Amino acid sequence: MLAVHLVSFFFSKLQEDPTKKVDRFLYAMRLHDDQLKDISARFQAEMKKGLSAESNVTATVKMLPTHVRSTPVGSEKGQFLALDLGGSKFKVLQVKVREGMGIRRGGVEMEEKTYPIPGELLAGRGAELFDHVSESLKDFLHEKNISLEKKHPLAFTFSFPCEQSTLDQGKLLNWSKNYQVRGFQGKDVVQALREAIDRTGGMNIEVLAMVNDTVATMMTCGFDDNYCEVGLIIGTGTNACYMEELRHVDLVEGDEGRMCVNTEWGGFGDDGALNDYITEFDKDVDAASNNPGKQIFEKMVSGMYLGELVRLVVLKMAKQGLLFDGFVSHALRTKGKITTADVASMEEYKNGLKNTKDILTGLDLNPSPDDCIAVQHVTTIVSFRSSNLVSAGLAAILTRIKQNRNLRALRITVGVDGTVYKTHPQYPKRLHKVVRRLLPECHVRFVLSDSGSSKGAALVTAVAQRLASQRRKVDETLSPFRLSHEQLQLVKARMRTGLEAGLKTKGPSAIKMLPSFVYHTPDGTEHGKYLGLDLGGTNFRALLVKFKKGLQNNTRLYHKLYTIPQEIMQGTGEDLFDHIVDCISDFLDYMGLKNARLPAGFTFSFPCEQTAIDTGTLVSWTKGFKATDCEGHDVVSLLREAIKRRNEFDLDIAAVINDTVGTMMSCAYEDPQCEVGLIAGTGSNVCYMEEVRNIEKTEQKKGQMEREEGTPEGEGDKQHDGTEGEKNLGDAKIQKMCINTEWGGLGDDGSLDDIITPYDVEVDQNSFNNGKQRFEKLTSGMYLGEVVRQVLLDLTRGGLLFRGHVTEPLKTRGIFETKYLSQIESDRLALLQVRSILQGLGLESTCDDSIIVKEVCGAVSRRAAQLCGAGMAAVVDKIRENRGLDHLNITVGVDGALYKLHPHFSGVLQETARVLAPQCNVTFLPSDEGSGKGAALITAGAILKKKM
């Protein structure tokens, strides 16, 4: 019976599929998807560690910044020399990049020559190696009849780990690929090349860029495919690079844009992170290498080691009697006798088994057909593990890119080079399949680099030159927006001159300096219920405000917001005021006050000539309003007439004020030092408490001022002493009046022509009030977005943005609203979100485009804030000098979306005012309830005065 079992056992062994025993023997090398996902997660953790300044020193995946900040866009051009050093041979090339706008329109022509590197130089001194490279370069110039006198930009592909602080500098971290050049680790490779070129002499060479072969591969493929943002090498060595968000690259200053990071992923596992996946064969390969304990991942996947891994597996199987009937030849025992080329040959689809037999026979073995099948299966498992591990690493990189950009799905191209990928018949297909299985939500395209890394190095240089040229042109475009201290001092002085001129009775003034007939800020005695009506832009607001006497912090406010359609803004005056009354009627219904005759204050945020607190003649519309039959008319009368036409309710309109005055009053209710109001929103304006003695208006207006305060007509002049500048009105002395400056008119007389740009001129010419409100058009929310659009349009026409493609949206006036400036300039906003905003406007942008757009927005908004700050400095310094003070403490009440919502506007404005008015301590207090509350306060004051 035992004999029967033994016969059966041996018969079954004879019949066993030879691949099964290999599967059992190499079980640890067969990785399933859960294991690959685990490896991918470990690699992601190592990437994060390598990017951090705190942990980079101990990271095995070094994540080296390359200072390559952009992939090609197709408009690169130039003629370059290139050196490609990374193996037992190196290349010298001449690369011509033809100019062309857009991907695929340009082209690249190359001439090259390969030079061997003598074996002794691989272990010699660094200077000797680079002298050989330099002499070969000179030989190439002679052979190709390239001028030695002319300056030639040179790109250097150096395929070893380097730490770069700039694009044209790199310190060697360590040699690999059998290079053991002495005394060179830690040295600047580019400097060594420059010194060698100098020693050789007779050449005019400028080394502009040094890149890794992985980066060069990405750039080569990126020239034909603008989705290519990953480079992959699977050859003698292995490595990957990709475009990382700069905000995550701690080792480089700045957080705008992207930078290519050379992962140097070959070191993954050097700290034991892959110990549970390392086999005894990997350990043997590592122990016999030139760098034991280093480049563990590379030794598991790269062409330098795959053949040796196969040899060690076949050797052990033979020793255990699983192959060749236990016979082991001397050749099979010899390191390096099976190469990676042999591995590829054995896995050929049609001739693989024949090639396997030939290779094994060449090793003095006599393989059976089953031996050939088994050895071929060994090569399949070893190479399949390599592609699986590369897939796991690549999946980690793609996952990080997708997460960085907050995308559900990712479309991306991977540029690939390397002999394993190019020559192994099954490798690419396996790699693509596994990557797509691990990341089903990513559309990944693989593009083979057909021109090697030299072309990529030249393209890096071409891109660097394009970016430098682009940078210069963008700087030139934006330089007029960058105001110097001296220019801001001039603006301050011109504003001061304009303020003084506007207060006088004679002579024209661009700054109107309109009296408001508001003589006092709130004192806490205000009480009762009042309506506030606020018209200042595209919205109308109705408010009910309840004040409790003596309780400044106990105010109740109810309000409702109504839209003013554009057709109403630009229709007839009757339609506009009827619409306002419709809104008031709705609000009174909403509050249940239809039958109550409440006192009301009307905030009307347009320039008005006032002769009393409750009259205001519209001087001119601003902010896009063009309603007919309003300019030159009393807006309070227009409102009263509209109320009569509706005949549903009645209001006692006790005061009409500007929104700036309302803002000042609202904030003064909280802070008694508030004597200035600032609006920085759709429009731009300032009011402040001016000394009455400085207001040289007509006698009629003086008389009206006196009647407003209850002084018998004619007594004002008798009681004015001419020195103190006070009006003695009964028991009260009027010293100040709030002046609505209407400072937006500064520059209407040409006083700002030296800082006005062609873009401002274009905006002005296309506005409703050409030649008017020039300062407002430089500073207010209604215009800043349009200024930005004009700049973007100019940059695009110059080929510096959006690939030079001027789209219909970009040509559409008003499409770039100022709110986009606030969003785009947010410090918390990633460039991907900037791109999303631009895409929403129909502007397809690259990362580089987004950076430029953000810079344009910043230049325009910063100038606006600085100009407002210069104007404010003029106002507060005037108040200080009016009062004869060495130092002034004052509060400015502020309202407006630009001030409140823009991330940097308020800070720049405040800093500019501080620098230009150093003797003034200015506190800026945002208004919580806006100018409507201020109108109610003024109404309360006017009503109380009448009762007194």
Burial class, 62, CB count within 10 angstroms (exposed 0-12 / middle 13-18 / buried 19+): buried
Q: Which of 724, 667, 322 has its CA nearest to residue 522? A: 667
Task: Looking at 625-669, list the stretches that DSSP marks H as alpha helix, in order from N- to C-terminal side.
Answer: 635-646, 659-668
Backbone angles phi, psi at 584, to 5 degrees: -60, -45
Q: Which residue has the tokens 């994540």?
A: 63
H-run or E-run covering 923: strand 920-926
Check residue 761 and report its DSSP letter: H
Cα–Cα distance measured from residue 791 to residue 787, given in angstroms and rounded to the nearest whole number = 6
Cα–Cα distance measured from residue 252 to residue 29, given in angstroms and rounded to the nearest whole number = 39
Residues in the chain: 948
User: And the tokens for 610?
Assistant: 């006032």
User: And the tokens for 80?
Assistant: 């370059």
* Identified catalytic residue from 213, 224, 282, 659: 659
Dihedral through CA 764, CA 767, CA 773, CA 776, nearest 10? -80
DSSP letter string, 102-149: STTTSEEEEEEEEEE--HHHHTSBHHHHHHHHHHHHHHHHHHTT--SS
C-alpha dist (Å) from residue 186 to 86, 126, 174, 183: 17, 12, 8, 9
Annotation says 605 is catalytic: yes
Strand order in the sheet with 920-926: 514-515, 736-740, 684-691, 674-680, 888-895, 920-926
Cα–Cα distance measured from residue 926 to residue 930, given in angstroms and rounded to the nearest whole number = 9
What region does 303 belong to: left with phi over 0, alpha with psi -120 to 50, or beta? alpha
User: Rg of the chain over CA atoms, in angstroms?
Assistant: 39
Q: Which of 784, 801, 757, 763 has its CA nearest to residue 478? A: 757
User: And the tokens for 322?
Assistant: 């699983």
- List, in order, residues 6 or more apart from 79 with CB less than 8 Å away: 94, 95, 96, 97, 152, 153
Question: Residue 447 is which amino acid?
Answer: V
Q: Which residue has the tokens 């008389």?
A: 703
Burial class, 396, CB count within 10 angstroms (exposed 0-12 / middle 13-18 / buried 19+): buried
Cα–Cα distance measured from residue 755 to residue 502, given in angstroms and rounded to the nearest whole number = 22
Answer yes or no: are the C-beta atoms of 258 and 69 closer than 8 Å.
yes
Annotation says 213 is catalytic: no
CA atoms within 13 A on the CB side of 424: 31
Q: Which of 249, 263, 204, 241 has its CA nearest to residue 47? A: 263
Annotation says 436 is catalytic: no
- List, in order, residues 6 or more apart from 127 with CB less than 8 Å away: 192, 195, 196
Q: Which of 277, 284, 229 has its CA nearest to residue 386? A: 277
Answer yes or no: are the C-beta atoms of 759 and 793 closer than 8 Å.
no
* Identified catalytic residue from 258, 541, 774, 789: 541
CA atoms within 13 A on the CB side of 440: 2
* Identified catalytic residue from 605, 684, 845, 931: 605
Q: In sequence order, what E strands does 405-524 have?
A: 410-417, 442-448, 514-515
Q: In sequence order, what E strands does 408-527 have?
A: 410-417, 442-448, 514-515
What region does 604 belong to: left with phi over 0, alpha with psi -120 to 50, or beta? beta
- List, in order, residues 6 or more apart from 218 with CB less than 8 Å away: 71, 228, 229, 230, 231, 241, 242, 260, 415, 456
The residues carrying an active-site annotation are 541, 605, 659
